[in-house]
Structures are given as C-alpha cells and as structure tokens.
Amino acid sequence: MLSRLNGRVRARNIEEVRVAPRPLDLLTPFISEERQHHIAAAAEAARRMLDGRAVININSTARGGGVAELVQALCGYARGAGVDSRWLVIEGDEEFFRITKRAHNNLHGEPGDGGPLREAERALYERVLAENAASLAPRIRPGDIVILHDPQTAGLAPAMLAGGARVIWRSHVGSERHDEVVRAGWDFLRPYIQMADVSIFSLAEYAPEWLEPAAVRVINPSIDPASAKSQDISGADARQILRQVGLLDGPPPARPPLFRREDGSPSPVTRRVELVSEGDLPRAADPVVAQIARWDALKDMAGVMRAFAGMESRPRDAHLFLVGPTVGGVADDPEAGRVLAACAAGWRALPDEQRRRVHLVSVPMDDREENAAVINAIQRHAAVIVQKSLAEGFGLTVTEAMWKGKAVIASGVGGIRHQIIDGESGILLPDAADLAACGRAMRELLLNPALAERLGAAARERARHNFLPDRHLLQYAELILDTMPEAA
C-alpha cells in the first residue's frame, strides 16, 4: 500500500508542534471554584487511566483556522495536567489539499471546486496518507490514543489501528442537511471513519446516519481565555496595537506595544498588516465593523462587504475591516488567494465613497502569537463583529467575540445557531444571503451602543458557561474512559 519512488517509500515530513504545558490554574480567574475542583479531579483520573500512554493529535496545519486553535489550547492544558499529549502535523501537496478541501466543502453542503471524489482522488488521498503513516509509525506506540482531525487525516485510521493505537476521529465540519453533496463527502470518508473507535462531531445533527450511535460523541469546541488571542487587554492597548500594525489613524507608538506570550513573557508587536485599502484609516472614535475569517468562500467576506457598503443610511464615520490570514499562511487551505482576489475585485468595483470605508486586511501568520495579539486587538476594538458564513461547523470567531463582550451579527447556520440566542446574546440572520437584513442589523447596532452592550454582556456569560476549556477537557476525559474500558 505504500507508494514507492525508485523502489523507496517516499518519506513525508511530520512536523511536531512543540506545545508548552499550560497549568489548569490559568483558568482560575474565569471559572467558579466548583468548576476548578471538577476539572482538577478529572485531570487526576485521566492521568491514572492513561498510565503513561500518550494522546496524540494529528491534523494538517500548525496555524490558521479553528482546528489549530483548539489543538494548541487543549494539548497545552492536557500537558499542564500531566498527560503526555502531543501534536503532529501531516504533510500534503497541492493536489492532496485540493481533494481534501473538496471533501471539506462537500461536508458543508457545497460543491466547492465542483470536482469529483472518485477512485482516482481516493488513490491519491490514500497514497499521501500512507506516506505520512510511514513517517508517523515510529512515533505511535500500541495503546496510545490518536485523535485524527478532519477529512485531511481521516484516512490515517487504518494505519494507526494497525499500529495498536485507539483511534478517535474528530470532525470540525458538517451540515444539518444530508443531501447529495454532503453524502458525496461522507461516502469518500466512510471507509476510514467507520474503522475509528469513536467519532466526535461539533453538533449531533452532523453525524452521518450510518455511524453506530455508540460510536458518536458530540463535543462543542471552546476558546482559551488565557491565550494571546483572548487575553484581557485594555481598549487603549488595543488601539496602540492597531496603530502599530497600520489599522488605525494616528502616529505609530514610539515603542512597539507589548502583548503577553502564552509562556508569560512580554513581546512586542512589530509586523504590519497587508492592506487593500484607500482613503483614510478609521480614527480612534470611528465605529468599526469587523469580520475575521480565513479567506474561504463559505465565510462570504464579499457578502459582508456588499451588506456594509449597501447599508441604507450608513453612519458616515463607520468602517469595515475584513480580516484574514496572509495568503499562503494556512497550509491546508488552497483557496485563499482566489477568494481574496475576488474580494479585492469586488472592492475595486465599489463606488468611491463606499470603497474608502472598506479595508481588506491580511495579518501575517509567521508568528502565531503575534497574529493572535493583532486579532485580539481588532476583536476588542470593533463596535460590531460579523460572521456571515454560508456554512459553519462551529465558528470559533463567534465564540471569541462573545467572550470579548461583543455584539455579534451572524448567520443562523451550523454551530453558530448553538452559540447565539437571537436577540439575547447576539443577532442571528435567518437567511445568510439576505444582505439587506445584514445591513439593517449592522446599522441598528452602530446606532444603538446600549443594545450592543447588552447583547455583548449576555454573550460573555454564555461563552463563560459553555465554551471554556474546562468543560471541553472534562468531555475528553470522559471519552478516554469510555474508549479505554480496561483502564476503568
């Protein structure tokens, strides 16, 4: 099954992301005493059960996107709790990621590039993963628990099982609709997923009907309130960072502003963002609407731009930031360049007065934590956060904004519907394609800061209750107990 080049198996480069242990105490300021005791007890039980066996996360990019965000945090807290948790990243090539992105899009109910997922695609997918499996083999011991993330790594299941590992497949994508397109995505992955001991979905509705209910778990994602992305910073600090990177009018600070790295050390923000922009940057008091997302067609950045630009009686001082990673910054996302270019073409076509209020922002990805500090500053500075995705597995950008007490306007799709209660902790758009409704919601929140504040305060409490790492780690601990009955 391994492919051979000149008689030799081609070795793939497996990247091990070094994750520093994060003590559970970092969560103390954010959760009740009861929750602190609960998670400490679960950590102790998990350590005993695992008895030295490792929990190994495998995915396809070390940075950019929700999966990298989650693995970074959970792996760190698990290590902090004394669990041998690791993070490995597979290597793919353009063709491989084109196929896996197609599967990803299909699972969201979208045709993506419209190409097929047939035997030729399966052969290439299996070949690249077999090459990765050969490089992974020395790092996995019998009894280890391997968590495979998303379609890109699902096909590693047979090799990991053959090596004696327990295999959990975790899906971060999915659609409540189970139409032909979605089925094509599942059919492609079915042979691998069916072998896994357990599959995790962000919502129960996402699980394909052919999976045994006993092999399905539902676990919502979470955000890390102590990370560079979500740490508390003042409004003044956020503005300094925005001036430094070139997003706010005014002279840059005399010295680069600092953020706190996850190891506790202070570090300067030095890199500037790449901008597609013309006219003045917002002044400190001008209200900013922002959407933060990968440059992915399903995030509909162009739709947000049209909704903002076409808003009736748009407040004259309002600006829109559409923010994504620099193109090429996310290894497993081949569509970014095309999506950004299409968005920039739409931006050029806007009438002058509208174009001057819209800024396309690409944030450098070469330092994950510095990128996170910039995203944090943008989210905290924004008056309104939008997430007008056409489909969304969960939507960590929504959780991040809720945690920051922001009023979020988001389409009522996928995991977003489980996060925001419409009119209570944000605004849900019933139809993601209704640009006028999106524009009206933006206007309402821009003109009514008291409403934005009320929604934001409720959003923060909802995020605290449901979407912090202790709840997530508890669910992992329970799952490990279930997958290792002999250890119980």
Which residues sit at the interface with ligand UDP, rule CB under 6 A?
Answer: 65-66, 69, 229, 292-294, 323-325, 363, 371-372, 375, 394-397, 400
Asked whether the beta carbons of 425 and 453 are under 8 A apart, the reply is: no
Nearer to ligand UDP, 174 or 257 (CB): 174
Name which of 187 and 274 has its Cβ closer to ligand UDP: 274
CB of 484 to ligand UDP, least distance (A): 29
Other Cβ atoms closer than 10 A to 352? 8
- State the nearest-atom distance from the C-beta of 294 to ligand UDP, in Å: 5
What's the closest the beta carbon of residue 142 comes to ligand UDP, in angstroms? 32
**Of 26 and 363, which has the nearer Cβ to ligand UDP?**
363
Work out how close the CB of 395 gets to ligand UDP at its nearest, in angstroms, rounded to a whole number.
Answer: 5
The nearer residue to ligand UDP, 186 or 394, going by C-beta atoms, is 394
As a whole number of angstroms, the distance between CA 460 and CA 378 comes to: 17
Residue nearest to ligand UDP (CB): 66
According to the 3-state scheme, what is the secondary structure of the chain? CCCEECCEECCCCCEECCCCCCCHHHHHHHCCHHHHHHHHHHHHHHHHHHCCCCEEEEECCCCCCHHHHHHHHHHHHHHHCCCCEEEEECCCCHHHHHHHHHHHHHHCCCCCCCCCCCHHHHHHHHHHHHHHHHHHHHHCCCCCEEEEEHHHHHCCHHHHHHCCCEEEEECCCCCCCCCHHHHHHHHHHHHHHCCCCEEEECCHHHCCCCCCHHHEEECCCCCCCCCCCCCCCCHHHHHHHHHHHCCCCCCCCCCCCEEECCCCCEEECCCCCEEECCCCCCCCCCCEEEEECCCCHHHCHHHHHHHHHCCCCCCCCCEEEEEEECCCCCCCCCCHHHHHHHHHHHHHCCCHHHHCCEEEEEECCCCHHHHHHHHHHHHHHCCEEEECCCCCCCCHHHHHHHHCCCEEEEECCCCHHHHCCCCCCCEEECCCCCHHHHHHHHHHHHHCHHHHHHHHHHHHHHHHHHCCHHHHHHHHHHHHHHHCCCCC
**Shortest distance, CB of residue 115 to ligand UDP, whole angstroms?**
20
Residue 202 CB, shortest distance to ligand UDP, in Å, is: 9
The distance of closest approach from Cβ of residue 375 to ligand UDP in the complex, given in angstroms and rounded to an integer, is: 5
Q: Name the residue nearer to ligand UDP (CB basis): 50 or 413.
A: 413
Cβ 416 to ligand UDP shortest distance, Å? 9
Q: Which is nearer to ligand UDP, 240 or 419 (CB)?
A: 419
Closest CB to ligand UDP among 158 and 414? Answer: 414
The minimum distance between CB 408 and ligand UDP, in angstroms, equals 12
Nearest CB to ligand UDP, comparing residues 248 and 323:
323
Nearer to ligand UDP, 69 or 262 (CB): 69
131 or 400: whose CB is closer to ligand UDP?
A: 400
CA 241, CA 374: separation in Å to the nearest integer?
A: 7
Shortest CB 291 distance to ligand UDP, Å: 10
Q: Give dist(CA 236, CA 254) in Å, integer.
A: 15
